[in-house]
A and B are shown apart, each in its own frame.
Chain A
């Protein structure tokens, strides 16, 4: 029985479709409002860095700037005032080494937890997993005194150790799930092909973790980059401080800096994570889904 297309009531069909769309429209408006609320601070940041300090004071904070030239002065001021060079380099060091080493160790741990059978493996997993459930601030005081004792306070190696350690548990959780879903027949095939357990890990497992590795690296890098509290408490010298605690020179009663310079510094500080996200975006999206055979 073929449908006679010439006798269909197209008006009625269009009305039904329109009703469906109207429901979508409500959602759309809501999304728009949320997006604007979300974007407003960014707008403020962008217009502010484009104004000279004098223009900023004279005009409404949300008014459009008259040109873009003040940007360069603001950025230079921010960089020099806050001595951001150290901060950026330190944060890069902490972020790349901390996140990289942490995720690598996490994959090794997850490999052991997900792909070998032995008694007590749930216990070990829960022990590591416990690292994600307490608020990090809890570690602050004990860490401070321990570091003081060990002479790690205000050192780069101390910061790297801390960031690496704190960035391990969450990736272990993610990687354990990921590796549990990966076919165990692949390991068996590799063993029959002659792989030792180490070769199996480095030649077969690790290359197949590229997606989640990048995603987790990005997440942990961003966390380290944005960390303020640990960096502030555990370091003092500007040579060791991270970029976020460097920005603190602009805060407080004695700070005598225009808001436009503060905004420029914030912009500079957030640039690397944004760039990194766009560069690795594709891997990030795919990273947390398990690639199947």
Chain B
């Protein structure tokens, strides 16, 4: 049993709170990703769990035991650092076994665990090298090996892949996922890369400015963002946001003629004439004939002054009147600068947010 529970956890540096009262329950054996923009307190939260930062207020428990006053070595957690933090003067083998040796684990037990980690991470050929003679990806694996041999209840990762190139990052993403499937430890994984969070985690925690904005399964967070911030943070390219107004039977984008019909069973619509923020993802505004035909489309024309071709798809930056937006073009063709295309917006995929608070207007059971 190694669930991690944070109750009103606060971290203050002097008078400046970096983590502002977080409540979070991380289930046993789950893979939880903490995401959020730089400086939002992800690392601080992780380091509080690790025991590398004191807990200013509130309570953190691991496996049912309150750990506020336990030193990190007694918490049953291992951490993989962004810089790997390998011991430069030790060989890979020594790096792996160091923690076990100094805590008095029996010799054959050390050998068994080191051999297991070396096997899982395919470190065999490098065991007698020093970290300076390893590639970035190999160092990364040694860092993970060092975490594995301690057989922790909880693995903590702080942006472990951010020093790798894109290709290696994809590869390591898969390896970490496999590791989780094989070892079944609880994993808390900090990243600012939402692709990593979406693809690896069972649960995503989106943080902003020391608070948690939303907790949920990746698709849940993607399809039902709790507020405008989460909607904008998850998904690339970013969701389009429009200033809109409530009209009879739906909403309209200011400066645009069409009406988007809204099912009042799904949204708490403000009174007619009130402002709302409308959100539509680029893949839900489709150039006619390129991509999925929306079920309930609103059709309109827009010019495309700029497009980015990615090969398998293009991102079109389009304008109509005073409204500009990004759209995703599947089965792409070359688009001339300023070309006018017909777009279909999928009203079924629309997101509505309160203009002041940014909270979603979606009714809970969808």
Q: Residues of A with Cβ closer than 8 Å to B?
A: 183, 185-186, 188-195, 199, 203-204, 207-208, 210, 291, 293
Contact = CB atoms under 8 A, between A and B. Distances in A.
14 contacts: A185-B83, A186-B85, A188-B72, A188-B79, A188-B85, A189-B85, A191-B71, A192-B72, A195-B73, A195-B102, A207-B89, A208-B88, A208-B89, A293-B131
Given A192-B78, A193-B73, A186 B102 contact: no
Contact of B81 (A189, A194, A203): A189
Contact of B102 (A185, A203, A208, A291): A203
Contacts of A207: 89
B77 interface: yes
A204 B86 CA distance: 10
Contacts of B89: 207-208, 210
A189 B99 CA distance: 9
Nearest to B103: A194
B116 interface: no
A192 B79 contact: yes
Contacts of A199: 102
Contacts of B87: 186, 189-190, 204, 208
B82 interface: yes
B325 interface: no
Contact of B85 (A203, A210, A291, A293): A293
B52 A188 contact: yes
B292 to A, nearest CB: 45
A186 B131 CA distance: 13
Nearest to A204: B87
Contacts of A210: 89
B50 interface: yes
Contact of A192 (B50, B83, B86, B139): B50
B235 to A, nearest CB: 32
B93 interface: no
How many interface residues does chain B have, given as a range?
20 to 34
Nearest to B163: A293
Nearest to B80: A189
A190 to B, nearest CB: 7
Contacts of A194: 73, 99, 102-103
B252 to A, nearest CB: 53
B85 A193 contact: no
Contacts of A185: 81-83, 85
A292 B72 CA distance: 25
B132 A291 contact: yes
B150 interface: yes
B84 interface: yes
B328 interface: no
B84 A293 contact: yes
Contacts of B141: none
B98 interface: yes
Most chain B CB inside 10 Å of its own CB: which residue of A194, A195, A203: A194
A189 B102 contact: no
B362 interface: no
B146 interface: yes
A186 to B, nearest CB: 5
Nearest to A209: B89
Contacts of B52: 188, 191-192
Contacts of A195: 73, 102
A192 B47 CA distance: 11
Contacts of B132: 291, 293
A293 to B, nearest CB: 6
A291 B85 CA distance: 13
B163 to A, nearest CB: 10
A190 B103 CA distance: 12
Contacts of B72: 188, 191-192
A183 B99 contact: no
A194 B100 CA distance: 8
B134 to A, nearest CB: 10
A193 B73 CA distance: 6
B99 A193 contact: yes
B110 to A, nearest CB: 13
Contacts of B71: 191
B137 to A, nearest CB: 14
A195 to B, nearest CB: 6
A291 B88 contact: yes
B343 to A, nearest CB: 42
Most chain A CB inside 10 Å of its own CB: which residue of B72, B78, B88: B88
B4 to A, nearest CB: 16
Contacts of B84: 293
A203 to B, nearest CB: 7
B73 A189 contact: no
Given A188-B85, A194-B102, A203-B98, 14 more contacts: A185-B81, A185-B82, A186-B86, A186-B87, A188-B72, A189-B87, A192-B50, A192-B72, A192-B73, A192-B99, A193-B99, A194-B99, A291-B88, A293-B88
Nearest to A199: B102
A193 B152 CA distance: 11
A293 B50 contact: no
Contacts of A203: 98, 102
By Cβ-Cβ distance, the 8 closest A-B pairs, closest first, are A193-B99, A185-B85, A189-B85, A194-B73, A185-B81, A207-B89, A194-B103, A186-B85
A188 B81 contact: yes
Contacts of A192: 50-52, 72-73, 77-79, 99
B121 to A, nearest CB: 17
